[in-house]
């Protein structure tokens, strides 16, 4: 069995991600090698919803850094996320979820992030923000490079050793995908990124199964 948790305490259309995960798992299950794995997807509203660790835990979200962290703290999920990370489970941050994986953000300087990936979140330099629409992500490992869907005004600033994908917007090149061990961050929305996004999620689940 492959267990997938999706944190659902933040703003945004969580069901888009849920359906995106379903599509990716369906794509994976048509291959004979992975047909035996029976995936289970659960929405997670609080620490009380978790009776055992997930193989993959998604942190989605849109909006303000401070509000996102407040919701995680008040639902008791900060410690849950860290426990998954410390036990080698896969943790995946999407959009605001990626930003919260870092130590802090210019958007809310007084608020501490999850501090799983060293670095901070800074505002895009462009005057044309938010950055909305399709843009290219060039991956340096394991995931399909191509065009993905973005909605954001802030971006990660971190050491290159954590960067696995880059994007250029208004002449500024920034990390649009990051990784530390089994923790991944995607600034774009794979669930809104058509077949390329589905393939990315499918590749991610394949990695989890092979671990």
Q: Kindly report the number of other CB atoms within 10 A of residue 100's CB atom.
A: 26
Residue 189 annotated among the catalytic residues of the structure: yes
Residue 211 CA: distances (Å) to CA of 21, 30, 90:
19, 20, 10
Residue 90 annotated among the catalytic residues of the structure: no
Q: Pick the catalytic residue: 95, 107, 131, 152?
A: 95
Alpha helix locations (H) across the chain? 14-29, 65-74, 77-86, 96-100, 194-210
Residue 95 annotated among the catalytic residues of the structure: yes
Within the chain, strands assigned E span 2-7, 39-44, 56-59, 90-94, 104-105, 120-123, 131-139, 146-152, 154-157, 163-169, 172-180, 183-186
Q: Residue 168's beta-bridge partner residues?
A: 173
Q: Pick the catalytic residue: 90, 131, 152, 189?
A: 189
Q: Pick the catalytic residue: 84, 131, 158, 191?
A: 191
Looking at the annotation, which residues are catalytic? 95, 189, 191
């Amino acid at each position: 069995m492959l267990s997938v948790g999706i944190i659902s305490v933040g703003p945004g259309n969580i069901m888009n991600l849920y359906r995106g995960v379903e599509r990716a798992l369906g794509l994976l299950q048509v291959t004979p090698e992975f047909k035996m794995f029976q995936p289970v997807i659960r929405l997670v509203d609080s620490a009380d919803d978790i009776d055992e660790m997930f193989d993959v835990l998604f942190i989605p979200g849109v909006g303000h850094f401070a509000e996102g962290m407040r919701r995680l703290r008040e639902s008791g999920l900060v410690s849950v996320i860290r426990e998954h990370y410390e036990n080698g489970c896969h943790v995946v941050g999407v959009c605001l979820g990626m930003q919260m994986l870092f130590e802090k953000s210019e958007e809310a300087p007084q608020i501490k992030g999850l501090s799983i990936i060293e670095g901070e979140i800074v505002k895009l330099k462009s005057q044309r923000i938010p950055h909305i629409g399709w843009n290219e992500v060039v991956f340096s490992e394991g995931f399909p490079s191509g065009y993905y869907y973005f909605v954001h005004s802030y971006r990660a600033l971190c050491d290159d050793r954590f960067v696995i994908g880059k994007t250029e917007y208004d002449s500024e090149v920034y990390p649009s995908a990051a990784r530390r061990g089994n923790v991944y961050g995607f600034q774009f929305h794979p669930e809104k990124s058509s077949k390329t996004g589905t393939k990315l999620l499918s590749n991610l689940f394949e990695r989890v199964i092979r671990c």
